[in-house]
Structure 1
């Protein structure tokens, strides 16, 4: 069934369908956030397990970087485009449910891997499944929430990143400490299959353009793929937002993928310490950042205009930069971790406002495609190159720096932050000039 079929209804039926979608939008947002949580948890489970997997399968840092970076990102990002075209035409809820079941099963299968090639194939399968999650989710959220509430909704959705990484580290590290990394992958992956059934039963499929008060968004010819790329390419604010979020993600993915290994190698923490102490605190701090940042962005949109949102992100990232560098520079664990938590608190609010702004700039019938294009760039560069290059540079520096090679490899990536800050500032300037 095509998801734009509601546009053929009469006025009364259309109003009833919109009322139902609005009534259930809180539940839908919660389930989409939980799906994103599982997505990120399954994606990042390798981070806390890397040292165990490295020893068991005798892998190099470069191979570990490929598993968590480029090999996953290539399939995740490129398949997002055809999935987004389906999502702009057909039922988005169904696409999300099927994708969730696929990547959850592939995560569990990774626990059976006996060598690098088998684990690589499983991680590619996770990437293929996860390609069907975020673009349709972004599109649904944009249709459920109006522009002045969209950043807050996207901020809640972005909790999937914060909580997925933190709770994945907590559960994965704790289970692996007692039962091994293979059991941890089974335990993290299999519950997602049950969630897929719940998503199918309870997530609402809203009318296209509902929150923008459009009644004609589902009518007319579907814009072509070329039209979608062209429309995004000529939008200067969208260009700077995509550049900013890509650079930010490259740094963030590098830190997330290698943070637990760095804490073990350079700060002397045990895997169980990271699982039981660092990750829960990180989850609380990250939640405050994502939700608080989204609320602040909505307030700024109502009182100062949408252009204030990227300026907010730029200001918070500027304040966070010294703490980012401090995390890698300080040798004393307490000081380093304090810097880490302050960095998360200040810098982790960028996803909600960024994706909300991009969805607001996108034509209504191209929202899933614009989200997929954004994620294509973010993940090929950010997720693909971030963890992979951190691993490669760490191997290059290892002969001279030993176990400290990872510390300085990650520090080099943090130094790219001012470039991202400039793009956020420029996006605000262009949005302020827009009519």
Structure 2
């Protein structure tokens, strides 16, 4: 079951980030600015994602998690395939919105399924395994996507990666049973009560701020290596995708078991303290990655940044269903995904695309580099919320 969730999550990342590999091709084909490409890649995705993720989470919490996951995979797969047929901005935006709708259904339901079928003592490891497999989508979406864009064009690329999700949606529907739901009294519960949970609140602020930075850098990463180092889309996608993808998998697989062992010895606050230090230590390497003019050093820093920061993936995602009641797991995950992904994707790519456009008259081809430097410096902000989280859990 964890393997199938991981494969579905991998397709989630592929269909989300293949747009990054096609950024410049779409820009030139449709005659767009960086800010407009950022709006299509980020904000359009975030529109229905932000509106529908909480309703989908509430449906999942009522005993429909597996069916919501299957529906979500089918929706975003078909929408990604149809993006290849888009010839106008409105059509491209509509299909990208539908990708967000499908992933809004999948995100909270898959997390609820993972939590339901894992034991608390191994929850960080369970989430690390599923997200580690998911992060292979970076490699396929960015490296594979860059190769396909260069050789068959961006339209055929979207069609190919989109249709690959249909068999997984069918398998999810046929082979994943709905987990048993506890009988609980729901009277008096409200979103205000959920938001009063201080550890969850710290997680929400961390997710929101970290993903603005993460999606901003990831969605513009391929374009950065093309413009700053003169690489083709295939080469840039390969270097960036393999670097960030493999490093994410390695860091996530290592971090989950370490966090579980730390939690056994020092309690759950110890696992969150481990996550805080992992995230904080990674940030200086990210600044060096975008500032250096050496391709080799930049790629080494990319790998180091990603491996170290990915150590906190398992404990962070395992913490969300741990700090809330069982029957609120999907709701809490949906709220986290709403702030982290909807705001992260909706704000990050267009924000740093706009900064790039603003700086182009002064920095020319290096404008995107300077824009991503702003993103890298902002990467220290989320560490503040992780620090608050581990302190509150310890208290």
Say if 2:68 is the partner of 1:95: yes
Partner of 2:6: 33
Distance in 2 between residues matched to 1:316 and 1:220, nearest whole Å: 37
Bigger Rg, which one: 1
Question: Could you tell me how far 1:223 is from its partner in structure 2?
Answer: 5.6
1:274 to 236, 241, 245: 236
Tell me the residue number matched to 1:176. Answer: 149
Structure 1 contact 285–341 (Cα < 8 Å) conserved: yes
Aligned to 2:379: 417
Moved more, 323-332 or 268-277: 268-277
**2:222–2:240: 8 Å Cα contact kept in structure 1?**
no
The answer to whether the aligner puts 1:429 opposite 2:391 as a matched pair is: yes
Counting only pairs closer than 5 Å after superposition, residues 98-137 of structure 1 correspond to structure 2 as 98-137=71-110
CA contact (8 A) 2:239 2:299 kept: no
Give the TM-score taking structure 2 as reference length: 0.96
Aligned twin of 1:234: 196
Over 3 Å counting, the alpha-carbon distance change for 1:247 and 1:366 in structure 2 is same
Matched ranges for 1:315-394 at <5 A? 315-394=277-356
Secondary structure of the structure 2 residue equivalent to 1:84: helix
- 2:362 is matched with 400
- C-alpha contact (below 8 Å) 1:228/1:369 kept by paired residues: no
Instruction: State the 1:284 CA deviation.
Output: 2.3
Aligned residues of 2:63 and 2:178 also touching (Cα < 8 A): no
Matched, 1:304 2:266: yes
Q: How does 1:44-193 map to 2 (within 5 A)?
A: 44-159=17-132, 161-193=134-166
Give the CA deviation at 1:221: 4.3
Counterpart position of 1:12: none
Quick check: 2:63–2:180 contact (8 Å CA) kept in 1?
Answer: no
Q: Which moved more, 1:152-161 or 1:104-113?
A: 152-161
Residue 207 (structure 1) aligned with residue 180 (structure 2): yes
Task: Note the C-alpha offset of 1:107.
Answer: 0.2
Aligned 8 A contact 2:34 2:353 in 1 = yes
Cα pair 1:108 1:186 within 8 Å, conserved: yes
TM-score of the two chains, using structure 1 as the length reference: 0.88
Tell me the secondary structure at the aligned position of residue 311 of structure 2: coil
The question of whether the paired residues in 1 share the 8 Å contact of 2:23 and 2:223 is answered with: yes
Q: Is the 1:111–1:182 contact (alpha carbons within 8 Å) kept by the matching residues of 2?
A: yes
* Offset of residue 350 of structure 1: 2.7
Aligned to 2:246: 284
Report the equivalent of 2:167: 194
Aligned equivalents of 1:376, 1:325: Cα separation in 2: 27
Partner Cα distance (1:39, 1:431) in 2: 31
Q: CA deviation at 1:228?
A: 4.4
Structure 2 unaligned spans of 5+: none
Report if aligned partners of 1:40, 1:160 keep a CA contact under 8 Å in 2: no
User: C-alpha deviations, 1:57-108, integer Å up to 9, x for none?
Assistant: 1111111111111121121122011111111113211111111111100000
The count of residues paired between Structure 1 and Structure 2 equals 395
